[in-house]
Amino acid sequence: MFARWKNGFRTATLVATAVAVATPQLAGAQLFVNDPDFKAATIEGNDPLVGLPVPGATPTEYRAHLLWNLRAGLNVAALQCQFSPYLRAVDNYNGLLAHHAEELAEAYTAMNAYFKRVQGNPAKGQKAFDDYTTITYNNWSTFQAQFGFCQTAASINKEALTRPKGQLHVTAQNRMRELRNSLVPAGDRTLVYNPQQIRMPTLPELRDECFDKKNRLRKKCGGRA
């Protein structure tokens, strides 16, 4: 298992769940010269892009669904993105858990209640919730798009730490689409050739008749001979 349950939250095995401060670490987290454009836009909890379908959910449950998927994505990032100390993936994720603990606990309670209500049985509901959470984690795993995913997750973590307590759902609404889009591999945009920015020198003609007997370029071909 790569994660465990504690106090209602699944947290990375390598991550300490309790931290004293919730201040974002602002060290550089740049993996690209120019960041890929993952087209961030607001999203609601009932959007299929958020995660697994939760039919019949109430508005409160849809918001919990959105938060639970965001937290799962950032948890996976805390595990996968430790290759770069500048991202501070573990520290900032732990800070998020501490800072927004109450709102995340409410999301956990709402999702647990949803599955028990839908299944009509507490035991079946708990099993359905566990399955939902496991699949949700698996849906965040990436390798080919790791750089883009890790940098986006780091940015979201830092923003979330600046939100007042109880406002993590605002970050989820604003950034979930961007985090999902970052699962698609993206290269660095500096590799694109732009003739308006890079002027290539004009090469002289290199035909035999352009050179004199001393192998000097004749004037008619752009030389001085």
- The average pLDDT across 136-158 equals 88
Residue 165 burial by Cβ neighbours in a 10 Å radius (0-12, 13-18, 19+): exposed
Residues 16, 114: Cα–Cα separation, whole Å: 29
Buried b (16+ CB within 10 A) or exposed e, 21-51: ebebbeeebebeeeebebebeebebbeeebb
**Three-class DSSP category at 112:** helix
User: What is the rounded CA–CA span in Å between residue 10 and residue 115?
Assistant: 17
Q: What is the mean pLDDT of residues 137-155?
A: 87
Nearest-5° angle of CA 9, CA 15, CA 21? 85
Structure tokens at 170: 């605002």
Q: Which two tokens stand for residue 70?
A: 């965001």
Q: How far apart are CA 71 and CA 10, in angstroms?
A: 9
> What is the CA 157 to chain-centroid distance, rounded?
9
Residue 79: CB atoms within 10 A of its CB come to 19
Region class of 39: left (phi > 0), else alpha (psi between -120 and 50), else beta: left
pLDDT tens-digit readout, 123-145: 999 999 999 999 999 999 887 77
**pLDDT, tens digit, for every residue of 18-73?**
333 333 333 344 655 566 666 778 899 999 999 999 999 999 999 999 999 999 99
Kindly tell me the sign of the dihedral angle through the C-alpha atoms of 63, 64, 65, 67.
Answer: positive
Segment 165-197, tens digit of pLDDT: 999 999 999 999 999 988 887 654 555 555 555
